[in-house]
Every structure is written in structure tokens, then in C-alpha cells.
Amino acid sequence: CKILGLLIIFSTLFSFVCYADNPLVQTLYTADPAPMVYDGTCYLYTGHDEDTIVNNFYTMNDWRCYSSTDMVNWTDHGSPLKATTFSWAKGDAWAGQVINRNGKFYFYVPVTRKTGGYALGVAVSDSPVGPFTDAIGKPLVTNNGGSDIDPTVFIDDNGQAYMYWGNGNLWYVKLNQDMISYSGSVVQVSKPSGYIEGPWFYKRNNLYYMVYAGWAGGSENIQYATSNSPTGPWTSKGAIMPNQNSFTNHPGVTDYKGNSYFFYHTGNLPGGGSYHRSVGVEQFKYNSDGTIPNIPITQT
Ligand code: FUB
């Protein structure tokens, strides 16, 4: 009878506590996770590491899309967008983000141009799983050559959308309502301490958050900063995830069904490393003052 009681308690607990198997995607190498919640489903867009020569570089040709309604079981939707979908691009499908506005989905990405240097492109689709097509037939932003990577987009409560991006420095533009053009000029903000790349911009309880890959003794950790304004100044709040075994890391943060989730990448899949990365996810709780706690990695 005691054993039966324990079994009932255990199975009741187990039915409420479900953990994802990390790395989330075990069929190919994925990086730069970007979650987007739409219509009750969490979509996850990732880069795709295809390097066949170890320690070559980031060989990335397309982005991938997955979805889940429980953060445990993920459906593979294949590739919704390739770097060469942009006729002006040569390749390098690095870290992007998808956002929904007015029933359309906008995919902001960095790619290398045929004429050289990085640029940010925007693709559009009627479906969160694509296919996405080039929205404007030319780069949305070409600013500083090698630094124009890792766009992150957020639409504020008043409808103003912002796109931040940058390696080494942090820039933003104010996107127009059409989401495929911007007004005013490119603004460089004073970057928060330790900032390297991979910004993830969002707002929670009237506080703006910029989570990013920071420099930590030879490789990247994850740090964040906050501001009372969408355009800064940004106050550094320190590290929330230590260096992993992949040199880079890249944050993606979302709330889903009443819980908060932190996406990242490591080199934890067999054969993994800096150019064979894999995305994972951890559930976390904000502290009562809005700060983000340290987020330990679970590997199952
Ligand atoms: O995946 C290629 C680059 O590595 C991304 O753009 C950076 O954020 C870093 O993860």
C-alpha cells in the first residue's frame, strides 16, 4: 500500500514535470536559436552547422525550423529559408530571428553579399514555417561590413519596432510599420560591458532586456543588460550562463504557457564543438526584482 502511494505521488509529479532532452535537435547540428510564440505554438528557428572540415569555420547555408506545444517534443519543419534565397547573397546563414506582425512573418538574417561583406536581409512568409522569400530584393542594412550580423527585432507596446544587431558594437534602427524598411539613421549605442555579439532584445514588466554573448576569458558566456528605454542606455547586469564547449553561445528568450525559457547552444552532441553546435533549452524563473538568475545547463 505504501509502495502504491509512492508510485501515485511519483507519477503525479512526473506528469507535471517534463524536461526536454538536450540538445533539442539530435539529427543535425544547430546553432543560434530564436524562439517565436504564435497561436499557441512555440516555433524555434536555428542556424545549421555543416562544417565537414573540423576547425574550418562556420559553414552555414540554411536556417531550420522546429515547433513544439510542450517544449519537450519538437516537430521538424525542415528549412524555411536559405542564404541564397537572397539573390544578392553569397552565403553564410548566421543568426536570425523571426517576428510576426499583422499575420505575416518576417525573418531578419545576416548573410554575406556577393560583392563582399555582411549585410542584414529580411524575408517574409504567410506561414511561420515558411517558405520565406526575400521581402525587398536588396539588403535592409549595410553599415559596417563585417559587423552587420545577429539581428534581433522587438515590437514595443506603442507599435514601434526596433532592430538591434552587431558584432563588437551594438546598433539599432527604428523599423517602419511595414517591417521591411526603417526611418532615420542607424544609431550606435554605448554597448553594455562585455558585449560581443548575439543580442536578444525584449521587454518584460516595462523593463527592456538585452541578452547577449559576452567575452569571458577566451570564449563566450551569456550576459545581459537592462534599460528603462528601448534605445538605452544599457546597464550591465552580469553573466547568467558560463562558457560552454562551443566557443560561441547565442541566447533566445521567450515566455510560453506561463513559464520562461532560455535557449542557447553548446557543442554537446556527439562529434560536437565550435563548428558543430547544438541548441538546448532551459526553463527558468525571473527573480522578484526582474533580474535573471544563473541558468545551469541540463544535458539528458
Ligand atoms: O553562427 C554564426 C555566428 O556565431 C553567429 O552569428 C554568432 O552569434 C555566433 O553564434
Q: pTM for the full model?
A: 0.93
Pocket test for ligand 1, best of 49, 57, 63, 94 (most atoms within 8 A of CB): 94
300 has a pLDDT exceeding 70: no
- CA-proximal residue: ligand 1, atom 8 (nearest): 198
Mean pLDDT, residues 118-130 taken together: 98
Mean pLDDT, residues 167-174 taken together: 97
How does pLDDT run across 48-96, given as a tens digit for each residue? 999 887 667 899 999 999 999 999 999 999 999 999 999 999 999 999 9
What is the C-alpha separation between 169 and 82, in angstroms, rounded?
26
What is the C-alpha separation between 23 and 71, in angstroms, rounded?
12
Average pLDDT, the chain: 92
What is the C-alpha separation between 255 and 273, in angstroms, rounded?
29
For residues 266, 269, 272 and 276, what is the CA-based torsion angle, rounded to 10 degrees? Answer: -70
Question: What cell does 172 get?
Answer: 539599432
How does pLDDT run across 201-252, given as a tens digit for each residue? 999 999 999 999 999 989 999 999 999 999 999 999 999 999 999 999 999 9
- The DSSP bridge partners found for residue 213 are 197, 222
Question: What cell does 25 get?
Answer: 535537435
Give the Å distance between the CA of 32 and the centre of ligand 1. Answer: 6
Give the Å distance between the CA of 10 and the centre of ligand 1. Answer: 41
Here the ipTM equals 0.98
Residue 57: per-residue pLDDT? 87
